[in-house]
Structure 1
Amino acid sequence: MQPLEPEDPRTLGDYRLLRRLGAGGMGRVYLARSAGGRTVAVKVVHPQHAVDEEFRVRFRREVAAARRVGGAWTAPVLDADTDGPVPWVATGYVAGPSLTQAVAGHGALPEAAVRVLGAGLGEALRHVHGLGLVHRDVKPSNVLLTLDGPRLIDFGIARAMEGTASLTSTGVSVGSPGYMAPEQILGERVTGAADVFALGAVLAYAATGRAPFPGDSSAALLYHVVHGEPRLDGLPDGLREPVQAGLA
């Protein structure tokens, strides 16, 4: 967490912002407190995206998808303003690091922990796919680790399974290099299988501390995913079969 900067808002809706939790290409996330004393996370869209109607469509879709998935598998949506001058969404605060933070701080997870992680994410994806949604951006930074299991966050590019169009004109990458399935990279029809591929890559990362598809640039990563083989050296033998099955 970081203290608020002078340019940060102090309140949004009924929420008082307390600290910065993080930032990305889409916006900033703050720790906040409701008028009733509940601790929440508030995601605020960057001003340059707030004026882009196509980006607002993506943000509205994220909020709608997260509402459908529910709090058992993601941070529950508590409140949102997707039409105001600065769109924002308030979710329950998930007390736990991302998988990226956990591996960076403590190294690869033990095999037993990876199995628990895979079981929890598998259940989450089964629920998401059962709703007719595809997450499309399963990656270590979108997996939060909590005492009662993992949470999937950032449904900004989730789509109905029958959907094929992509939102790309805003300059926001639809998916993450190194965790996108080949069919997603090639612009082909994306189904829940793409999330299963990403799950295999995430578990390989959790078990080895390295992404399974190396590359010095986004282009190199994407090429490797489509044309190369995953780097699975260091993967425990007991995890090789489920990881390879996901990546297949």
Structure 2
Amino acid sequence: MDVFSLKPLLICALIFIPLERVLTLRPQKILRRGIFTDLIYATCNGAAVNLLLGMMAVPLINAAAFFAPASVTQALGGQSLWLQVLEIVVLTDLGVYAVHRTFHAVPFLWRFHSIHHGVEEMDWLAAFHTHPFEQIITKSIILIPVFVLGFSTEAIYLYFVIYTGQALLIHSNVKLNFGPLRWLIASPQFHHWHHAGERAAYDKNFAGQLAIIDLLFGTFRVPGSSTPSKYGVDAPIPRNFFGQLGYPMVPRKLLAKPRSAEASDAEL
């Protein structure tokens, strides 16, 4: 999504705003706290990310493609469309899981990823709330193999449509857990627990589309039909867009007290 693509954003709004009214998880205003910052991410962030990603990834893709056997690329690109899409989903989500878990485990990378976790009221727009550095790293790692291996343009495009739709859905303020399929497919309940501001839920549910990946690696957490009582992090993350862009680079000692600490002081 970029600054010249407001029509897709409007279409998404026309789909997900009514859906959140019908399947509401928790009472929440449409113009909730932080929504204007998220609109900036949704309309402007993508343009810069796509530009930088193109500058970085295209040379890498061309270099890697030189070593990819033509027999492999022709075989993969010649498969049925839906089989290619399924393979892309599995391949990319394994990459998402690995990169996402790394962003949680490495303190320097967590500074960037904490921007996404700073959202305190979840809805479909929260899916866009990601630092551009994280987007560039994640997209580069998961998409380069897809382009190098020779999957068809149609399959890649269809994958992007499915991925975007599911990313918006799992962030949405909807009560939906997919029933028995919650063990296989990432649901809103699954991803809301990833955003939970509760210690028992930390570092769980890293996959973006296939919950079974977390099940296999022991990081799956969907406790019954329950949902988190709160979201967010206890870090002094700025509320505005430009403050969030610079936040990961600010020395920790210069940051204000975490919000939880400020609240405790206020109570004394």
Normalising by structure 2, we get a TM-score of 0.29
The structure with the greater share of residues assigned to strand is 1
- Considering only CA atoms, is the larger Rg found in Structure 1 or Structure 2? 2
The structure with the greater share of residues assigned to helix is 2
Normalising by structure 1, we get a TM-score of 0.31
